[in-house]
């Protein structure tokens, strides 16, 4: 049972806390699995050696969510710059937005 629990913790670290519900923990105790998933989703309850994997996975998940949010916000700004340029010129085929300094700063061509 302890071996299965350690395997479960390792799988959580590999899969990330966001996907912990889909990981097959190979453990017999459903309540123990659900408790570990809940712990990962809300943050670590303790910082012993075994839970450090969960802490790392949780923090990595938060970082990934922040990066996705920043990218989405940048994409929205780029789209607004493009729409503004097209509405100002009245031409939907304009490339005026490519000259905008904020377009270049946000690296919109690469998003």
Query: What is the full per-residue pLDDT of the chain (111 aa) written as tens digits?
Result: 444 454 455 445 545 544 444 444 444 566 666 666 666 666 555 545 456 666 666 677 788 889 999 999 999 999 999 998 888 888 888 788 888 888 888 888 887
DSSP three-state, residue 111: coil
pTM (2 decimals)?
A: 0.49
CA pair distance 5, 32, nearest whole angstrom: 8
For 19-32, b/e burial (b = at least 16 CB within 10 A) is: ebeebebebeeeee
Residue in 60, 8, 7 with CA at minimum distance from that of residue 34 = 8
Residue in 80, 83, 71 with CA at minimum distance from that of residue 107 = 71
């Amino acid at each position: 049972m302890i071996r299965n629990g350690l395997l479960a913790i390792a799988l959580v670290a590999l899969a990330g806390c966001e996907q912990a519900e889909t990981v097959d923990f190979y453990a017999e105790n459903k309540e123990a699995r659900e408790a570990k998933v809940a712990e990962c989703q809300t943050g670590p309850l303790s910082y012993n050696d075994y839970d450090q994997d969960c802490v790392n996975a949780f923090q990595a998940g938060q970082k990934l969510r922040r990066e996705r949010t920043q990218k989405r916000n940048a994409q929205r700004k780029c789209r607004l710059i493009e729409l503004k340029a097209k509405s100002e010129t009245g031409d939907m085929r304009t490339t005026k937005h490519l000259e905008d300094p904020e377009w270049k700063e946000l690296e919109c061509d690469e998003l």
